[in-house]
Structure 1
Amino acid sequence: MTTFVDPSTFPSLFDSSAEPSAESAPAVEAESTPEVTFEDLGLPSRLVRALAREGITTPFEIQAATVPDALAGRDVLGRGQTGSGKTLAFGLPVLARVALGGRAEPHHPKALILVPTRELAMQVADALMPLGKPLGVFIKTAVGGVPYDRQIDSLRRGVEIIVATPGRLGDLINRGVCSLDKVEITVLDEADQMADMGFLPEVTELLSKTPSDSQRLLFSATLDKDVDSLVKRFMTDPVTHSTAPPVATVSTMDHHMLLIPPQDKFPVTASIAARKGRTIIFARTQMGVDRLVEQLAAVGVRAGALHGGKTQRARTRTLAEFKEGRTNVLVATDVAARGIHVDGISLVLHVDPPKDPKDYLHRAGRTARAGESGAVATLVLPKQRRTTLGMLEKAGVNPAQTRVRAGDAALTELVGAQEPSGVPVVEEPEPPRRSEGGRGRRFGGGGGGDRGPRRFDSDRGPRRFDGERPRRFDGPREDRPRRFDGPREGGQGTGAAAGGTGGGDHRFTGDRRPNWRSRDERPRDDRPRDDRPSGGGERPHRRPARTH
């Protein structure tokens, strides 16, 4: 009781001057904001210093909530909006735990971070590597689209943390070069997306290979039925931290439903794409993405295409150009874009309205990140209006509806649209390849690590491989396992391609190399299919010498 009657506790109420109380309130608030530091969360001092060197001094809300429980060894279930700092929320506890136990044994990583896409894996690794280096923690990605050899070599030397997509990790395990029986902590990032992409069986199998008493952290934008099945099976008494409801991601954005006639769809799209500022455009299919990029280039708008059918090399180059501002427009599918973490995206445009409210939330989450403002616009044809409104209602969005046509001033006012230049974009030439032929690198040349000392880049007679043994190509390899089921018959491949290889087994004709695409240019994706091409996986080898 004395606490409440002591006059010393009420000076500002009885003082005639209001200034002291006005100053005292902000002072308390100012002290409470930086009160929680990374050191207060229980992180090792070396890790705190590494964060400071990267300019990271104050934890985000999701980090402050989850890190202490994760450091205490609890299983953690986290939900936070895109751009809320989830990567460090799980990455910091993983680094802290792994650093305590010394180096990993060969082929036995100590921590596993599972992600749905290649891009997300690389971005997670890029965020953690500068922090792991001072701790002596080695981090490696295991994703499709890149050669196996470097991943296998890293596992052979010992990797503390492996950041992987389910398909490639499962293949490395099947090859006997990776084992999860020594994993101490496992992270599932974007768990709902992995479920949506059909990775749930692969994820379940991989988790079952980790020790049952190991720690598990699961982070997801939404916690629906599929994710809940993983929680019930693999997590023990998890503590749940949710920094925002599922619709909070879009509450800080401006949402526009642009009602357009069918014939105006592309002109409206082109004028919006020509706006100033960084823009992501979503299309439903890979073919739709490629077609739209070509159409935009024809009217003077340079855009990059991103989808699962692109090679890793092409996807990396496209993302780099977008991040560096060389391209202001990125046209993408849902699957590819969920791994994008790029600041400064001011507009998300749906040329094809999503059917699922979760897809809308994921798409919209590319803008208005970390407190920034942004806008989301959806092009809606008359026949799509009712279904789109129903989807938006489920997503918790009440958009402003505007009827527009190409050239309307309202487009400029709402989303900054402007007329494209009309001058076709001249595509920059591809970077020169290391080999003069269609392969990605010279056979037996420097670099690559796994290639032999000899070169085989001549079609002359003395060196022929007529089926005596499988031909070994030592250039860059596909992200799919190869089968070596024995030599092929010399009679195969007399044309441009042999049958039964899915169109990917091209042959030389005479002494001239055809204008073929290299392995690095062939499409592949991250779907959970054992990472093998549908028609087999043998490597092409040189056709027999002509006898006429």
Structure 2
Amino acid sequence: MAKKGKLNTSQRKNLRLKENEHIENLIAKVEEYDPSLSKAKFFKDLPISAQTLKGLNESAFIQLTGIQRDSIPVSLKGHDVLGAARTGSGKTLAFLIPVLEKLYREKWTAFDGLGALIISPTRELAMQIYEVLIKIGRHTSFSAGLVIGGKDVKFESERISKINILIGTPGRVLQHLDQAVGLSTSNLQMLVLDEADRCLDMGFKKTLDAIVSNLPASRQTLLFSATQSNSLADLARLSLTDYKSVGTLEMADDNQANSSATPETLQQSHIIVALPDKLDILFSFIKTHLKAKLIVFLSSSKQVHFVYETFRKMQPGISLMHLHGRQKQKARTETLDKFNRAQHVCLFATDVVARGIDFPAVNWVIQVDCPEDVDTYIHRVGRTGRYGKKGKSLIMLTPQEQEGFLNRLKSRNIEPEKLTIKQSKKKSIKPQLQSLLFKDPELKYLAQKAFISYVRSIYIQKDKEVFHFEELPTEDFARSLGLPGAPKIKIKGMKAIERAKTIKNTSRSLLSLSKANNDGDLEEKSKPVRTKYDKMFERKNQTVLSEHYLNVTKGELEDAEDDFITIKRKNHALVEEELPELTLPTSRRGQKKALSKKASLSSKGNATKILFDDEGNSHPVYELEGEEEFHKMGSAEAQKEKFLNKESEIMTRVDTDDKLVAKEKKQEKKRKRLEAMRREMEAAYDEDVSDEEAVAYLGTGELSDDMEENENQRPVRKRARYESASEGSDDEKVDNNVVELEEPQTLEDLESLTAKLIQG
């Protein structure tokens, strides 16, 4: 409640009495309200507080939807609720309004601790719930907090003790319940599970059981989803024994039972495509829908990454984004924000955004890979056609998946229209993908991982009537991704896959704590501690293809028999008597001598070098013959004479070779000198012949200077010819009809020269 100025004691007392009276009247209205008699159309018709109603009006929430009209009155009366409704029908407000009203009627304050806990299976959905809560609860005095993976745990732990309404994902909520000192759930009033069927499945089963074990049994529980789980075992785990079902098919009338779980404004269609042609169809579809907002669902994060990177390089003409669970939280949040604000964009995503996320104005939802069940299909197509708006969806089914999955959809009153592909609009991108993978090894690695992840996803599917693992065209599918062939795949057992899925949805901190507290992990504790040096020596080549290449070629290396080069270890015999003593001397002088290189050389001599021959035997660098071997080769004089004769022959042969080389060098020097003389004589002869030819000189730019230089440079015979010419004036000299004039400097000089030439 906002305070306008400071109030005295009597004013505060009167204000408190009025608020208590308002709360009592509100409780009476809730008890008297009968939804069967009065069908409310607007939020103002419900028995809710003025603060909540004001927040709804300012957030433009005026009219009630079906699930809100049916579930809110039941929740306000304090009943447990099991609610199911179509996607985009406003389930978020259906549980947030009862949460605010419950705490308001209980006069909840900051000193009462945690009053409501809201759990969401994904981080994006938890953030969306938090944003809606902030909007509609802006006029209340409750504190709200958001705890999700990827955020600072220490920052959250310091403030979580002051939170009244906590929103989070299962792993992070359980981590704070185990570690946060000030977080107490003993006074919890409400537990809400959004997308309850996903929270109750195998991935979050143990985590959710651990959370519920810390909560009081007297709480009120609300479960909401577009596809609800009615398993008695799941409901008993949450202490739901006396609950009201709202919006489920069992509670619906005949007309609603005949309708599907998808929005009526959604236009659904399907096409039959062979697995190797899916990327061609997807690229062609994007090229023909550049003015639309698209969401493309694929089965794994590796496929999303590969398709995004390759399509981004081929530039279809529209903005591309990708979103999957392996991204950092900051990148996921930024992608969501950009996609919400964009008008024409294509988002490649996994099922991490298939549930509950309210994307504005999505035109198309394309499902490239078949979903694991009908519930997943309903959640995917629910990203478009929300709140009565029009939307379209398209699912690509292979011929093997067609019959089985369409029958599953028909059993839920969902019959997508069959479309045909115009061959003129279809474009094959297989050559472009092959070229990209050939140029970029990282893209090739992504393609291999995408192939493996898809094949594994088909293998682990439970519905074998829809997914036929044995009929997969692996070679053609690999070539459609740009790969030369299908990579080798190591398929794990189902138990290992289930364990990996459980670990994936568990917080790392909780996982380490559970390992430490588990008595059965004694073998793990007994293992030696691996230091950073152990890890350093275990490290392999860090290039992008090294690890994958080793995994692929491991079997080939083990099966190789005829190796071109093999290395065999040779065991050398060691004589213990010849080995040096490794014990440290006891005396200080002995220790100093052992540690000093100079002192050790004085007694042991220099270290000797050893060479190894081709057989692996060791030999010293300078090896001396024994005395017996020396005498076997004859007397010393005979060996001396033999050695001298041998050396004399070698010296004679070398001397002869040296003389030949010297003679050749001398002849080459003489030949070069004669060649130089010949070139000089040819140059002098060419100069005499060219005397009668015209010669051009480069001057200084002044005619007088050039004339003087030319006279000094010309031969004598040319100069004699000019001397025999008759002398004239300084202005002109005439010889053999040749007129020499000064260069005209002005216009008058040029006119005078022209007149002279005309008269002459």
Q: CA deviation at 1:327?
A: 6.1
Task: Name the larger-Rg structure.
Answer: 2
**In 2, are the aligned partners of 1:250 and 1:361 still within 8 Å (CA)?**
no
Name 1:271's counterpart in structure 2.
284
Partner AA of 2:311 in structure 1: L
Q: 1:84-143 CA deviation, whole Å, 9 max, x = no partner?
A: 11111100110122234232448x411100110100100000000122231111111111
Q: Which residue of 2 aligns with 1:149?
A: 154
1:360 is aligned to 377
Alpha-carbon distance in structure 1 between the residues aligned to 2:229 and 2:241: 18
Deviations 1:379-421 (A, max 9, x none): 1233332233233223422222233255449x9xxxxxxxx9x
- 3-state SS in 1 of match to 2:310: helix
Which of 156, 170, 173 is matched with 2:177 structurally? Answer: 173
1:187 deviation in Å?
Answer: 0.7
Aligned to 1:287: 302
State the match for 1:373 in structure 2.
Answer: 390
Q: Which amino acid aligns with 1:380?
A: L
**Pair 1:236–1:391, CA change in 2 (3 A):** closer
| 1:398-417 mapped onto 2 (5 Å cutoff) | 398-404=415-421, 407-408=424-425
CA distance in 1, matches of 2:132, 2:238: 30
SS at match of 1:213: coil
- TM, length-normalised to structure 2: 0.49
How do residues 526-545 of structure 1 correspond to structure 2 at under 5 angstroms?
none
Matched, 1:306 2:306: no
- Name which of 111, 114, 120 aligns with 2:119: 114
Give the one of 489, 497, 509 matched to 1:481. Answer: 509
| Distance in 2 between residues matched to 1:221 and 1:348, nearest whole Å | 17
Distance 1:278 1:226 in 2: 37
SS at match of 1:239: strand
Task: Give the aligned partner of residue 512 of structure 1.
Answer: none
SS at match of 2:363: strand
Choose the corresponding residue for 1:66, options 67, 71, 86: 71
Q: CA deviation at 1:489?
A: 4.8
Alpha-carbon spacing, 1:259–1:33, altered in 2? closer, same or farther (3 Å): farther
Counterpart amino acid of residue 328 in structure 1: V
CA distance in 2, matches of 1:87, 1:227: 24
- TM-superposed CA distance for 1:305, in Å, is 1.4
Deviation at 1:171, TM superposition (A): 0.9
**Cα distance, 1:492 vs structure 2:** 5.3
Deviation at 1:285, TM superposition (A): 1.0
Matched residue, 2:166: 162
1:102 to 90, 108, 112: 108
Alignment of 1:210-229 (within 5 A): 210-226=215-231, 229=234
What is the DSSP-based 3-state SS (H/G/I as helix, E as strand, rest coil) of the residue aligned with 1:314?
helix
Relative to structure 1, the CA distance from residue 154 to residue 393 in structure 2 (aligned partners, 3 Å threshold; closer, same or farther) is same
1:133 aligns with 2:138: yes
Distance 1:353 1:257 in 2: 11
2:209 matched residue in structure 1: 204
What is the CA-CA distance between 1:173 and the residue it aligns to? 1.1
**What TM-score, normalized to structure 1?**
0.67
Q: How big is the alpha-carbon RMSD for the aligned residues of Structure 1 and Structure 2?
A: 3.2
Give SS of 1:404's match: coil
CA distance in 1, matches of 2:334, 2:401: 35
Asked if the contact 1:76–1:216 (Cα under 8 Å) also holds between the matched residues in 2, the reply is yes
1:226 deviates by 4.1
> Does residue 254 in structure 1 map to residue 267 in structure 2?
yes
Other structure's SS at 2:142 match: coil
> Within 2, Cα distance between the matches of 1:327 and 1:312?
24
C-alpha separation between the residues in 2 aligned to 1:283 and 1:182?
A: 43
Query: What CA distance in whole angstroms lies between the structure 1 residues aligned with 2:38 and 2:308?
Result: 45
Q: Distance in 2 between matches of 1:327 and 1:153?
A: 42
Alpha carbons 2:121, 2:198 under 8 Å: kept = yes
Pair 131,256 (structure 1): closer, same or farther in 2 beyond 3 Å: closer
* Alpha-carbon distance in structure 2 between the residues aligned to 1:68 and 1:216: 15
1:345 is aligned to 2:373: no
2:120 and 2:126 in contact (8 A); partners too = yes
Tell whether the 8 Å contact from 1:304 to 1:327 is kept in structure 2 after alignment.
no
Identical-residue share of aligned pairs (%): 30
Give 2:57's match in structure 1, choosing from 38, 52, 56. Answer: 52
Determine whether 1:396 maps to 2:424. Answer: no
Count of residue correspondences: 401
The whole-number CA distance in structure 2 between the counterparts of 1:219 and 1:227 is 16
Matched position secondary structure for 1:354:
coil
State the SS of the aligned residue for 1:249: coil
3-state SS in 2 of match to 1:343:
coil
3-state SS of the aligned residue for 2:87?
coil
CA contact under 8 A between 2:200 and 2:234: conserved in structure 1?
A: no
**Relative to structure 1, is the Cα distance of residues 64 and 314 closer, same or farther in structure 2, using a 3 angstrom cutoff?**
same
Q: How does 1:492-531 map to 2 (within 5 A)?
A: 494=536
Greater share of helix: 2
Relative contact order (alpha carbons < 8 A, sep ≥ 6): 1 or 2 greater?
A: 1
Q: Output the CA distance in 2 between the equivalents of 1:65 and 1:385.
A: 37
Against the structure 1 CA distance between its residues 374 and 227, is the aligned structure 2 distance closer, same or farther, given a 3 Å change threshold?
Answer: farther
Distance between the aligned counterparts of 2:284 and 2:186, measured in 1?
55
Q: CA deviation at 1:200?
A: 2.5
CA offset at residue 35 of structure 1?
A: 5.6
Whichever residue aligns with residue 365 of structure 2, its letter is: V
Structure 2 portions without partners, runs of 5+ = 1-36, 249-255, 437-506, 517-528, 542-760
Distance 1:288 1:121 in 2: 25
Residue 294 of structure 2 contacts residue 347 of structure 2 at CA under 8 Å; is this kept in 1? Answer: yes
Between 349-358 and 381-390, report the one with greater CA deviation.
381-390
Are 2:84 and 2:224, in contact at CA under 8 Å, matched by a contact in 1? yes
The 1:370/1:61 distance shift into structure 2, 3 A limit, reads same
Within-5 A mapping of 1:15-34: none
Q: Does the Cα contact within 8 Å between 2:54 and 2:139 map onto a contact in 1? A: no
Which segments of 5 or more consecutive residues in structure 1 lack a partner in the other structure?
1-31, 412-419, 425-478, 500-548
- CA shift, 1:252, in A, is 3.4
Cα distance in 1 between the residues matched to 2:532 and 2:281: 56
Tell me how far apart the structure 2 counterparts of residues 299 and 321 of structure 1 sit (CA, whole Å). Answer: 22
